[in-house]
Amino acid sequence: MKIIILGAGQVGSSLATVLSHETRNSVTVVDTDASALSRLQERLDIRTVQGYGAQPSVLGEAGAADADVLIAVTSADDTNMLACEVAWVLYRTPTKIARIRVSDFLDHPALFDNNAIPVDYMISPERLIKDYIVRLIEYPDALQVRDFADGKLRLIGMRADADGPLVGQPIHYLAALLPDVEARVAAIFRRDTPLHPDGATVIEADDEVFFLARTEDIRKVMSVMRRLDRPYRRIMIAGGGNIGGGLAAALESRFQVKLISNNPEKARKLSADLDHTIVLTGSATDSELLIEENIEDMDVFLALTNDDEDNILAAMLAKRLGARKVMCIVNRSEYVDLIHMGTIDIALSPHNITIGSLITRLRRGDVVSVHSLRRGAAEAMEIIARGDANTSQVVGRRVDALKLPPGTTIGALLREGRVLIAHNNTVIEADDHVILFLTDKRHVRDIEQLFTVRFGFF
């Protein structure tokens, strides 16, 4: 595919990196910032064009006349929408994806079609990360939570603890501990090294374990990995922007929420808009303010401002002052890696969360969803098996007979609305939704080819 990306910020540059590394795409990045484009070209095999992305001549220079996909992810909604319109009216670009930040637009999807504002798919990083944080708060012991099969199935990443009943035991012992629950351990990372688990693999303390289970069974499986923490009640949010304010609105009916904003005008507006949240004006790096607001009683402290350094400092300070768990948004990938095993419990990367949603729209075959895991090192995907035994390499075959790439696990199937946890003797049928876990993203293309229907199906 020929892909044009407008915007060389965190989302655009991360997307360019993924697309140029793992697929045979022709990628062009457009931005007004020459230095940002230069940095991208130094490390990626891509084209760059300097200019205003919604301008016809700039899009023409970027190759819009024969582009398959336009992805507009600049920081300005109007630029993204206008670029999609220009690409459609002048160049008939088949697929147009736009980053939309203003919720007022997102709440009116009827605006977006080729007869109005020609945007095929809307991406809102702020809404995606807000929803993701809500999931993490629902599961206090989880490091990552991902939904599959229309929410019927969840993939959970968590750290095994020495007091967990399954720790020190082989995985097949899970059936004895939970005889009425089906789950599949998809991967284990031990000291950052991936292990491909089977029934005889012994789970050790501090292993990062990823497992798939039906949503209603998640807590039962988590309880055998470690003694579960008590549910959260008190939450403090630093940052009153789209993410912080939206998160407070989503949580305030179920939790006791305090929000800190360093912008007095924004704090007043939030105070008027939110029904049950206590809104404070000040800096989240002010220890006196945190102590005065009883930071030691907080179950979760979330640093969600636009400044990475402030987020890291505020989260570290909150942890030192007694907050039970701290999370912070970190946009720079080098910072995420730096603090991963430090005093901060969870580093949230908006662009990693956004990438999965974008990649889903670009993958070959019937890919339903894609989730980037472990800071982009691993991936989970849901893909539909098409064809029959004659035209497909997977339909009609047992799981243990498939030629899966190294480090790949089939965890579950969605068949006619029913979730089936995959076993070695499970036979894949036509139209099954197959949920896979890949510890090495370099094999994504191999999975796509494995699920490609051969000539004759049509």
Task: Supply 86's token pair.
Answer: 């220009």
Highest mean pLDDT among 87-91, 125-129, 332-336: 87-91
107 SS3 class: coil
419 pLDDT exceeds 90? no
Separation between Cα atoms, residue 432 and residue 392, nearest integer Å: 12
Highest mean pLDDT among 92-106, 312-326, 438-452: 312-326
Q: What is the pLDDT of residue 23?
A: 56
220 SS3 class: helix
Q: What is the pLDDT of residue 291?
A: 96
Separation between Cα atoms, residue 279 and residue 147, nearest integer Å: 31
Burial of 52 by CB count in 10 Å (0-12 exposed, 13-18 middle, 19+ buried)? Answer: middle
State percent of the chain over pLDDT 70.
95
- Going by pLDDT thresholds of 50, 70 and 90, the confidence category of residue 71 is very high
Instruction: Encode pLDDT of 72-105 as tens digits.
Output: 999 899 999 999 999 999 999 999 999 998 878 8
If phi > 0 it is left, if psi is from -120 to 50 it is alpha, else beta; for residue 331 that is: alpha
| Mean pLDDT (whole number) for 307-323 | 94
Mean pLDDT of the chain: 89
